Structure 1
Amino acid sequence: MNALLETFIERKDELLSATLTHIGISLTALLIAIVITVPLAIWLVNHRKVGEVVLQITSVLQTIPSLALLGLLIPFVGIGSTPALIALVIYALLPIFQNTYVGLSEIDPALEEAATAFGMSRLRRLFKVDLPIAMPIIISGIRSALVLIIGTATLAALVGGGGLGNFILLGIDRNNLALTLIGAIASALLAVIFSGLIRMLQYMKPKWSLGIILTLCLMIVGGTIYEQYQNREETVRIAGKLGSEPDILINMYKELIEEADPNMTVELKSNFGKTSFVFNALKSDEVDIYPEFTGTVLDSLVSVPESLDASQLSPEETYQEADKRLKEQFDMTLLKPMAYQNTYALAVRDDYAKDHQLTTISDLKAISQQVQAGFTLEFIDRDDGYKGIQSLYDLQFGDVASMEPSLRYEAIGNGDIDITDAYSTDSQLEEYHLKLLEDDQQLFASYQGAPLMRQEFYDDHPKIVEALNQLAGQITEEEMAKMNYAVNVEEKDAQEVAHDYLVAHGLVEEGD
């Protein structure tokens, strides 16, 4: 409980910002869903066959898994709040449409006939008879939709949409239960509060209740759009992938840029998402800079000839090849890399390595069928991951499970698995007493980190380029591992850790 309270106090500003973003996304989705479904249901009440078809379509749409839906949307609309918003609208269609359609369909025909007998026009009958009778059911559908939206909106964090999901993802990534609980509790409280507010509207006059819902949604949406418009042109946006290491690096970038130009405003988007999400955000001008790795560029981001084997390139050759192809294919520039290698590796517990006399990956051949492996999905699917291990080393482990990055370390620490994929600078190597096996067949390519940006941004911001180039050739593997350990295990703030490094190496002044 003390840890939860301390984390809440320490991150109250971040929590407020994430909560407002969460509310903005949720109410925007609700407003769009209402505008789509309520008029559609009103029209289809008199076209029952078409209405039943639409009802079935909205039911089918709601069965699509949220992760799959986000994945389908990203190629068309990029990442950020847009795919999250579209997904939330899709999930909100069924409860609002169904309740509006059913509420209007089940009005007593005798009431309709009486209203017609009194000479009411169709439009007047709708607003004076039909909607007032059906309004409690319609509001109930809106209430169900909003609760569903608020809960599902946590997934926006997976595609850089922000919100309370950032706390949950960060908590999982850093094995910090307090962060995860804060995100989950805040999301649940929002659902309860807004559910209660909408329930109160069920007992108000229809025109007041619907008017209040629309006005509130419009105010939130308008405020969000205005804020984004105001900040869009004045801010350098730096994103980082999931994890402590990108978080440390982007804080270094921020401090170096502000040191070079005190008038520059820098906005950090930490834990923005996985590689494809952040790269797409850079392509679509949603962010300006993010730290990328040379080996990742060649393996995942650019097209390379089949004859090119990145694992056979030197670190300098890997960088040159990555930068060249980024320029040719995406008009992007990768600045000069830092010194350390954050390459893939296979890790086992120290005692397991000792018991089975493991030093290299090839040593696993003798016990491969007994090995229980736990790898990330990305590693399992990569040619320089498990696929490469199978082909180059001729290794097929007895059991291979896919796991989230942060969970695999806990699993190997508990003895649930025997081996996992790792990065050579991960703090968990020390935390869980793990040994890296030597890549004796040279499967893994060189992975040096460097700032990635669009060529246009590079040309327009020479001061920023000069500031970031101060990190070229800096930071050893040992230094990066220690900084990761300070954030993940000692629970120090990434900004503090980044600042301490820059001060210790004379890149910024102590008091900055």
Structure 2
Amino acid sequence: MNTLLQTLIDRRGALLTALWQHLEISIVSLLIAMVIAIPLAIWATHHKRFAAVMLQIAGVLQTIPSLALLGLLIPLVGIGTVPAVIALVIYALLPIFQNTYIGIDEIDPSIEEAATAFGMGELRKLFKVELPMAAPVIISGVRQALVLIIGTATLAALIGAGGLGTFILLGIDRNDTTLTLIGAISSALLAIVLSWLINRLEHVRPRYLVAGLVVLLLGIGGTSVYHAVQQPKDNITIAGKLGSEPDILINMYKDLIEQDNKDVHVTLKPNFGKTSFLFNALDHNQIDIYPEFSGTVLESLVKQPHSDKKLTATQTYQLAKTDLDRQFDMAYLKPMAYNNTFALAIRNADAKQWNVHDISQLRTVENQVKPGMTLEFIDRPDGLPGVNKAYGLKLSAQSMEPKLRYEAIHNRNINLVDAYSTDSELRQYHLTVLRDNKHFFPAYQGAPLMKQALLKKHPGVAKSLNKLAGKISETDMQEMNYEVNVQQKSAKQVAHHYLVSHHLLKEAR
């Protein structure tokens, strides 16, 4: 409990920001869903043969997995708040439409006839009779939609839209239960409070309700406009993938750029999401820079992969740089020294017991091996399928989240994991990295990726970031990851210390 309270105190600023982002996304999505679903449901009560079709469509939309929906939206609208809101609106349509339709359709026909007998037109009857009588059912649907939205909105953090999901994702990535609890509890409390407030709407007169909604929209819109106006004109947005390592690197980028370019302000978006999300964000000019690996570029990003060729680290980088420039008009600056390539790791005790130190030696104990690996590694040609082919193995693995596989091998549920050569968990859990004696895994050197247009506008950025070229060894990176993940130091602090101690910053700030 003390740890939870201390973390709340230390991160209160970040929590308030995430809470506001979550609230903003949720309320906007709910209001848009209401504007779409309620009029459609009212219309459907007079066109009953279409009502069943609409309910089926809304039901089918709600069954689409949220991650799949976000992935489908990214190529169309990029990433950030817009695809998050679109996805949440889609999920909220069914309960609002269904309850509005049922609430109005089940009004006693004799009441409808009496209203008509009193000379009420359709519009007046709707607002004076039907909506007031159906209000409890409609509000129930709105409340269900809101709870659904708030829970699903935690995934918005995966595509850079912020919200309380950032705490949950960060907690999972850092193996920090406290951060995960803060995100989950805050999301649950937000749902409870807003659900209670919506329940109170039954007692609010329609004109006051409409006025309140207008004020709420103006408040949210005004805040967004204010932040947009306050944003410095020469602002550079740097994003990083999930994990401590990208977080450390983007903090280094920020320090170096702001030191050398006094007119530039840097905004960081850590734990932004997966590779495809970040690359699409860069391609759609929603971010300006992010660190990417040369092997990932050739394997996953350029249109003519070179994974079938045996390339040196220098060749891999040069091909990645050339293809990015030619195909996407992107600049790929000079790489750092370390090679954060894929690896296979086992416990130190198993390495001694089996006398296994190379990947090829796994064939001697293949019947004892129980792999647990990330879904990405299981699926990639330069992952498990390629390893099996290159080494004559027949391994099949359980798919696991990156952090969970390390916990699983530590708890002896599995005994072989995929890894990155700079993972702090290799040290933390006393794991042996098996030597890639057939040199199967491609080189993965990290370097800043950006649009050529950014360098034309800010030519000093390249000079600043190229100070990291040839710097940071695998040992350095693993140690920095260990400081963040295990010793719970901030990525900003660790990054700043490295730059100062290696004389890349003029002075500590």
CA distance in 1, matches of 2:211, 2:138: 13
How far did 1:366 drift?
1.1
CA distance in 2, matches of 1:243, 1:62: 30
How far did 1:233 drift?
4.6
Q: CA deviation digits over 1:324-380, x for unaligned, max 9?
A: 000011110110001111111001000011110111000001111321001101101
CA distance in 2, matches of 1:48, 1:219: 38
**Residue 135 (structure 2) aligns with:** 135
Name the amino acid aligned to 1:450: A
What is the correspondence of 1:24-39 to structure 2 with a 5 Å cutoff? 24-39=24-39
**Residue 372 (structure 1) aligns with:** 370
CA distance in 2, matches of 1:77, 1:154: 19
**Residue 329 (structure 1) aligns with:** 327
Contact kept in structure 1, 2:249 and 2:495, CA below 8 Å? yes
How far did 1:420 drift?
0.5
Residue 474 (1) aligns with residue 471 (2):
yes
Name the amino acid aligned to 1:346: L
CA distance in 2, matches of 1:155, 1:215: 28
How far did 1:232 drift?
7.8
How far did 1:69 drift?
1.8
Name whichever of 136-145 and 68-77 sits farther off.
68-77
How far did 1:218 drift?
4.3
**Residue 412 (structure 1) aligns with:** 409
Contact kept in structure 2, 1:136 and 1:203, CA below 8 Å? no
CA distance in 1, matches of 2:183, 2:348: 35
Residue 382 (1) aligns with residue 399 (2):
no
How far did 1:75 drift?
2.6
Residue 361 (1) aligns with residue 340 (2):
no
CA distance in 2, matches of 1:303, 1:40: 43
Query: Aligned pairs, how many?
Result: 509
How far did 1:136 drift?
2.0
Residue 449 (1) aligns with residue 446 (2):
yes
Q: CA deviation digits over 1:303-333, x for unaligned, max 9?
A: 3366x645x2222211111100000111101
Name whichever of 246-255 and 216-225 sits farther off.
216-225
**Residue 389 (structure 2) aligns with:** 391
- Secondary structure of the residue aligned to 1:271 is coil
Contact kept in structure 2, 1:33 and 1:89, CA below 8 Å? yes
- Secondary structure of the residue aligned to 1:241 is coil
CA distance in 2, matches of 1:406, 1:229: 39
**Residue 460 (structure 2) aligns with:** 463
**Residue 231 (structure 2) aligns with:** 231
How far did 1:267 drift?
0.6
CA distance in 2, matches of 1:256, 1:67: 35
How far did 1:76 drift?
2.2
**Residue 175 (structure 2) aligns with:** 175
Contact kept in structure 2, 1:79 and 1:277, CA below 8 Å? yes
Name the amino acid aligned to 2:373: F
Against the structure 1 CA distance between its residues 166 and 403, is the aligned structure 2 distance closer, same or farther, given a 3 Å change threshold? Answer: same
CA distance in 1, matches of 2:442, 2:225: 43
Name whichever of 357-366 and 158-167 sits farther off.
158-167
Against the structure 1 CA distance between its residues 102 and 35, is the aligned structure 2 distance closer, same or farther, given a 3 Å change threshold? Answer: same
CA distance in 1, matches of 2:71, 2:193: 31
**Residue 439 (structure 1) aligns with:** 436
Query: What TM-score do you get using the length of structure 2 for normalisation?
Result: 0.97
How far did 1:66 drift?
1.4
Name the amino acid aligned to 1:270: P
CA distance in 2, matches of 1:46, 1:28: 28
- Secondary structure of the residue aligned to 1:272 is coil
How far did 1:442 drift?
0.8
What is the correspondence of 1:79-478 to structure 2 with a 5 Å cutoff? 79-228=79-228, 230-231=230-231, 233-304=233-304, 309-310=308-309, 312-397=310-395, 399-478=396-475
CA distance in 2, matches of 1:304, 1:260: 36
Contact kept in structure 1, 2:242 and 2:271, CA below 8 Å? yes
Name whichever of 356-365 and 367-376 sits farther off.
367-376
Contact kept in structure 2, 1:24 and 1:221, CA below 8 Å? no
Name the amino acid aligned to 1:64: I
Contact kept in structure 2, 1:131 and 1:206, CA below 8 Å? no
CA distance in 2, matches of 1:51, 1:116: 23
Name whichever of 56-65 and 345-354 sits farther off.
56-65
CA distance in 1, matches of 2:71, 2:232: 26
Contact kept in structure 2, 1:132 and 1:205, CA below 8 Å? no
Contact kept in structure 2, 1:379 and 1:386, CA below 8 Å? yes
CA distance in 1, matches of 2:453, 2:267: 19
Contact kept in structure 1, 2:298 and 2:305, CA below 8 Å? no
How far did 1:161 drift?
1.7
How far did 1:301 drift?
0.7
Name the amino acid aligned to 1:330: F
Contact kept in structure 1, 2:299 and 2:305, CA below 8 Å? no
Q: CA deviation digits over 1:225-275, x for unaligned, max 9?
A: 552465385421000000000000000000111101233211100000011
CA distance in 2, matches of 1:346, 1:365: 14
CA distance in 2, matches of 1:28, 1:412: 43
How far did 1:212 drift?
2.3
5+ residue gaps, structure 2, are none
What RMSD in Å do the two structures reach over aligned CA positions? 1.5
- Secondary structure of the residue aligned to 2:271 is strand
Against the structure 1 CA distance between its residues 80 and 18, is the aligned structure 2 distance closer, same or farther, given a 3 Å change threshold? Answer: same
Contact kept in structure 2, 1:24 and 1:224, CA below 8 Å? no
How far did 1:412 drift?
0.8
CA distance in 1, matches of 2:149, 2:360: 50
Name the amino acid aligned to 1:444: F
Name the amino acid aligned to 2:349: D
**Residue 52 (structure 2) aligns with:** 52
CA distance in 2, matches of 1:93, 1:315: 50
How far did 1:152 drift?
0.8
CA distance in 1, matches of 2:72, 2:494: 38
5+ residue gaps, structure 1, are none
Query: How many percent of aligned residue pairs carry the same amino acid?
Result: 59
Name whichever of 178-187 and 201-210 sits farther off.
201-210
CA distance in 1, matches of 2:452, 2:354: 50
CA distance in 2, matches of 1:468, 1:420: 33
CA distance in 1, matches of 2:239, 2:348: 35
**Residue 496 (structure 1) aligns with:** 493
- Secondary structure of the residue aligned to 2:372 is strand
CA distance in 1, matches of 2:225, 2:277: 22
CA distance in 2, matches of 1:350, 1:305: 36
Q: CA deviation digits over 1:108-165, x for unaligned, max 9?
A: 2222222212222211111111111112221221111111101110011122221110
How far did 1:213 drift?
3.7
- Secondary structure of the residue aligned to 1:273 is coil
**Residue 40 (structure 2) aligns with:** 40
Contact kept in structure 2, 1:338 and 1:450, CA below 8 Å? yes
How far did 1:184 drift?
0.4
CA distance in 2, matches of 1:511, 1:14: 24
- Secondary structure of the residue aligned to 2:418 is strand
Contact kept in structure 1, 2:234 and 2:263, CA below 8 Å? no
